[in-house]
Structure 1
Amino acid sequence: MKECPYGEKCYRKNPIHFGEFSHAHLDAIYEKGKGSGDYEIPAKYSSEMIHTQLKLLEKLFPKEAAKKEKEAHSSGSKPHVTAPIASGSSSSGSLDTKPSGSSSSRPAASQDTSNLAKKQKLNAKNIKDYIPVVIEKGGMAKKLERAAPYNMFLTAITDSKPTHSEPLSITLQEILDESLGEIESTVQINFMVDIGWLLGHYYFAGILDKPLLVLYGDESPDLLSIGKFKPQVTAIRVRMPTPFATSHTKMMFLGYSDGSMRVVISTANLYEDDWHNRTQGLWISPKLPALPEDADTGAGESLTGFKQDLMLYLVEYKISQLQPWIARIRKSDFSAINVFFLGSVPGGHRESSVRGHPWGHARLGSLLSKHATPIDDRIPVICQSSSIGSLGANVQAWIQQDFVNSLKKDSTPVGKLRQMPPFKMIYPSFGNVSGSHDGMLGGGCLPYGKNTNDKQPWLKDYLQQWKSSDRYRSRAMPHIKSYTRFNLEEQSVYWFVLTSANLSKAAWGSFNKNSNIQPCLRIANYEVGVLFLPRFVTGEDTFPLGNNRDGVPAFPLPYDVPLTPYAPDDKPFLMDYLQGLH
């Protein structure tokens, strides 16, 4: 059994991972302990994290089998984790999560019926060992239909039971649900990918053998050689032009056997913690059918130009394995899409006469100036993200000069004197995190550090608490990123952005200040989001806020309004607070 490459720093809580890798520090604690939570955990470890991991070992390697397991390990044989068979399957089976892909552990097909029924019953329970929130299969198509016209969801929260049945809550398993179509191939573009955890989901969805292309940003030893052991998986790390740039996009393509496809844009990494007790957002496209063979080149475009913008974005990767998907997108009918594609790509970008600004906050500004209804300057720009970049010595430096200057735009005729709207930033306070479902570890998805915070003390005046009681997520820390303007008095939302982009220059871009040349927007990261503009989604000037209006559903904001400013003794949560836990 291989030793986990992360050793004592392993944060995983995924049964597949613990069936595949050993952890010397956990084995030592487990062996000495009496089970059922009675363990002596050294002070240098996070007690909460280690307890969770030990519970997994108890499930995978029960005490009575510990001796046999130890003997098996020492003799060189490798245990595997048995996964449940897919619902409705007529035969029993196991998911061998070892890289070898061996199927030697599969039960013989000649098992008698009673044993098979018993095995199926046991396996049906096992899915909950892998996926804490399991929704009955077959209902996702109707759920998506009921989510119109926004098609925007938040992930289900393990420790918040009301989210398990909330109509606009979703699990990863539901995105792969057969009611949405019979999947023949997929693409996953993401920053962090736990391939064992992801393939476990593919197994339960019955698509483990289907071609999967993974583009990933963060270093992942497991992905380097995955193609040797799982030939259906092609994994490519996105190379970045600068050391501090990040391939941060979270997007998936689902290809169906009838030739149609679907696009999903998300804020969640593909590993267990991000789908556990963290608030994440997802937009799911309608089904996009294949165009007729003789269709015109420009056919199947949405009113928002989504298809062209998506293809222009994908070309920027310069990855040949994406070419078949770019071709598939070109031949698909995107006309049912009612949102704008909003991307960031690394490099220096200038405005063009054809497209305006192509990427980042300047692209958002271009779209707002064309399509957003006129907005009173007193209406704030509300930002919300899971990390904050280095923003400068004061609020004017980048927030006002660059970012809010783009986000304040609307279709008011040029020439009218405008004021800078207020800026507000929703970011979890120390109190928000300490009271979260996972306690201080809930801040693991908030990588904002003391060094950066100390250089921008002015930011505290603009900070707002994380509160989401209306969506049962006040204790589920937000990894979602969103930007909007709304009017509480008129109960109206003017526009809304859901994106992977945190509040940072790297994600959104920063203009050079050289007045001798045309302004150039410097962007470091790959990011992807969607812009909801009322005229394209509902045909009206604004979205309703809070309650339905004339049959139009209220826009599903991920947090409570009115916002709650930080109290004088509040402070933003900083990643440094976690250091004492490890």
Structure 2
Amino acid sequence: MLSKIVQNLFNNVKTLPRDKSIPPPLLFDLLIAADELCLGRLIDHTQKQLCDSLDCINFFLDNLVGIYNLTTQFPHFQILQRHFTMLIENHPTEIFNSHYFLELPEEILLSCLRNDNLHLYEIEIWEKVLEWGINQIPRKLNRFKVEDWEVEDFIELEMKLKKCIPLIRFYHIKSGILYNDVIPFQPIIPDSIFNNILKFHLTNDILPLPIEISNVRCPELYDNKATLSNTLKLLDSIDKYFGYFWSRIYARKLHGSIEFFPRYLEGVTKLTYIPGHDGDNYVKFDDLIQKSILKQAFLSSMIVDFAWLSSKLPNNRQIVLAKDWRKEDNESQGLNGIPNTKYLIVHAPKAENGFGCFHAKLMLLFFDKWMRVVISSGNLVPQDWELCENGVFIQDFLVRDKSKEFNGLQGFARDINDFLVSMGLKTHIVNLLPEYDYSKSKATLIPSIPGIHKGMENIKRFGHGRICKAVKELCGSRDDVQLEFQSSSIGSLNKQYLVEFYQSARGLDPVSALSRPRPKKGEVDPLPPITVVYPSSKVVYESKYEYSEKLAIASTICLSEKAYNKDTFPKEVLRNCISKRDGKLMHSKFALAQFREKPNDMPLNVESQENAGGWYYCGSHNFSESAWGKVTTSRETKELQIRINNWELGVFFPIYRKEQEYLPNQDYDKKDWFNEHSVPVPYIRPPPRYAGNETPKVTL
């Protein structure tokens, strides 16, 4: 009678209130009570409240087995059953990683195994399924000691996993791991499946795989719990878990997803891609730009192929472009928009003497959650990104956490800001720089800005004076440095300038070269230990390009015949520049410095000045006074100053010694030291002297 009264009361209420404060356990108690009292409306109402609440999801996942048993016992809980099925489909990874995994009903396990969204490596899935199956057997079995198993153990495990094994994607497990972790369990795998697995891994024959097991599963690329650095580690470890074939297939499938993540958070120096030469050390222009997701960009170059560049950039985005300009072409300093486009052209100030050019190659690429900084030696023309070799530094910076105190731009970011402001950008682009976190910046910026920069503080802000400051701060001043400079263009060099530059390379004030005592009569004043790497005419002539391509690239390889034939030109420092990529020519600029002295024991702090073994530079600076600057004394004030003609930009990195360098190891000493420290040097080292009658490639 009481139940009848309660039923009438509920059935006559038009709407039932929803109280979001009721905890899920109490809602389940209410649901069971409603079922006992046959209160249909309350049953449906309570089920909907459980299903609609986001707070209940964690409760469901934490108590999955108990809730599953509950829903199967009560036929009226159909709304809950449908929701439960959807929950399993959406959260298979959480279920696999749960504390109750070994207690899962077979139906739930099978549902998870059918799911492409099970974000674990296939070998991890196999190991978990094995563990689940072994747990269903009353006897205690050790899966790491199958040699101790009885025949009956294999038979029983085969029965337990009969429905699971066909859902394991064995084709996605690397062969070596398969041999160690799957082959020992051959007795439980059906012969037809096992034979196909062997055939695939032994011959790489692509079998007609069932569609439901053809997709590759792996940990999720990015979620609330994963950092972007973990995402990158995942991408780098694909080959560890998948065989070669599936790694390539998976990488292609992931390409569309990967582009939404910053790939260079740690900063890296690479070379430009050339067709026919693949590898991790090379990067394509399109992969840097990521046209489909680019929001805004700043780019700079000496010369620009607008037709080529416009095909690489989105049409509807703001693009700020700095380039060289000439009065002879009716161009002038300042900012100008291109009609009917979103391009803003920047013509930076020139040197007062009229010499020099805008030669810096900088890209600031803005995406949804991060900014990419690219500093290279490549102009915005196809030959520099598709034919010849250029050096490229890349680092991504995430959006800054606005909840943390901001103390203004520092270090790397401040240097970029100052460089842009000096060009004439007062509001464009510079207003975006404070939005990002530069705490993990890896490089020291080496800028050159045209002008006469007076006083030691300003000398050490630009050109080789900036190299001096970087060496002194990061490596400490050094006495004995072997310096090597690879350049696609060489200025009018002389011994005094080599001494000046070498002083900066050691971390010593470049002005000391001016006060260097002159040799006594009859004494020979040796050149500093510098080699300049530059191609011979033969290397250029025999390069493997189409004739028109060869002419275009050769025009960027410059050494004035007049300068070379001067008595003061130090010909003995020149070495031939031969590419590691057979027959290719270079437009890159690298400076490599190695310190000859080192401590007897490895310092406790690996990244200390004491453990620095050298440094390298990569950027736009050719080896010339116009690019790096020349230190002089002002006639009027007698103040020291550095005169620079070009706009240039590059990056500097200290190189710290590895532990094996402190061990007696003749084999290690024979290796290319810079290659061992992952510096992507594009030419053969040590660079050879010109052979026979070879001469450097010169221009009239």
Verify same fold: TM over 0.5: yes
- Checking the alignment, whether the CA contact within 8 Å between 1:350 and 1:357 is kept in structure 2 is no
Distance 1:545 1:214 in 2: 46
Distance change >3 Å, CA 498–CA 143, structure 1 → 2? farther
Higher relative contact order (CA 8 A, sep 6+): 1
Distance 2:543 2:669 in 1: 27
- Checking the alignment, whether the CA contact within 8 Å between 2:362 and 2:376 is kept in structure 1 is yes
1:155 matched to 2:266? no
The structure having more radius of gyration, on CA atoms, is 2
Distance 2:262 2:538 in 1: 35
Aligned-pair CA distance for 1:226: 9.4
1:194 matched to 2:305? yes
Aligned positions of 1:138-537 closer than 5 A:
138=256, 145=263, 151-158=268-275, 161=276, 163=277, 165-177=278-290, 182-202=293-313, 207-218=314-325, 227-241=337-351, 242-258=353-369, 260-292=370-402, 295-298=405-408, 301=410, 305-320=411-426, 323-351=427-455, 357-372=460-475, 375=478, 377=480, 379-391=481-493, 394-396=494-496, 398-400=497-499, 402-409=500-507, 421-438=528-545, 441=551, 442-455=553-566, 458-469=569-580, 472=581, 474-486=582-594, 494-513=614-633, 517-534=638-655
Q: Which amino acid aligns with 1:496?
A: Y
Question: What are the superposed Cα offsets for residues 316-348 of structure 1, whole Å, 9 maximum, x if unpaired?
Answer: 11234xx23212113321111111011000111
Aligned-pair CA distance for 1:533: 1.5
Distance 1:457 1:170 in 2: 40
- Checking the alignment, whether the CA contact within 8 Å between 1:534 and 1:540 is kept in structure 2 is no
TM-score for both structures, normalised by structure 1 = 0.62
Please identify which structure carries the higher helix content.
2
Partner secondary structure for residue 428 of structure 2: helix
Distance change >3 Å, CA 524–CA 497, structure 1 → 2? same
Partner secondary structure for residue 564 of structure 1: coil
- Checking the alignment, whether the CA contact within 8 Å between 2:266 and 2:440 is kept in structure 1 is no
**CA RMSD of the aligned region, Å?**
4.0
Partner secondary structure for residue 694 of structure 2: coil
2:696 to 572, 576, 580: 572
Distance 1:556 1:546 in 2: 18
Aligned-pair CA distance for 1:250: 0.5
- Checking the alignment, whether the CA contact within 8 Å between 1:356 and 1:366 is kept in structure 2 is no
Aligned-pair CA distance for 1:356: 7.0
- Checking the alignment, whether the CA contact within 8 Å between 2:338 and 2:345 is kept in structure 1 is no
Aligned-pair CA distance for 1:272: 1.6
- Checking the alignment, whether the CA contact within 8 Å between 1:138 and 1:177 is kept in structure 2 is no
- Checking the alignment, whether the CA contact within 8 Å between 1:188 and 1:214 is kept in structure 2 is yes
Specify every segment of 5 or more residues in structure 2 that has no aligned partner in the other structure, as ranges. 1-251, 518-525, 599-610, 663-667
Partner secondary structure for residue 324 of structure 1: coil
Partner secondary structure for residue 472 of structure 2: helix
Per the alignment, residue 7 of structure 1 pairs with none
- Checking the alignment, whether the CA contact within 8 Å between 1:247 and 1:527 is kept in structure 2 is yes
Question: What are the superposed Cα offsets for residues 77-120 of structure 1, whole Å, 9 maximum, x if unpaired?
Answer: xxxxxxxxxxxxxxxxxxxxxxxxxxxxxxxxxxxxxxxxxxxx
Aligned-pair CA distance for 1:563: 1.9
Aligned-pair CA distance for 1:539: 12
Distance change >3 Å, CA 545–CA 484, structure 1 → 2? farther
Partner secondary structure for residue 622 of structure 2: coil
Partner secondary structure for residue 317 of structure 2: coil
Count residues in correspondence. 408
Question: What are the superposed Cα offsets for residues 342-390 of structure 1, whole Å, 9 maximum, x if unpaired?
Answer: 100011113456x77111101111111122156561x421111111112
Percent sequence identity over matched residues? 23
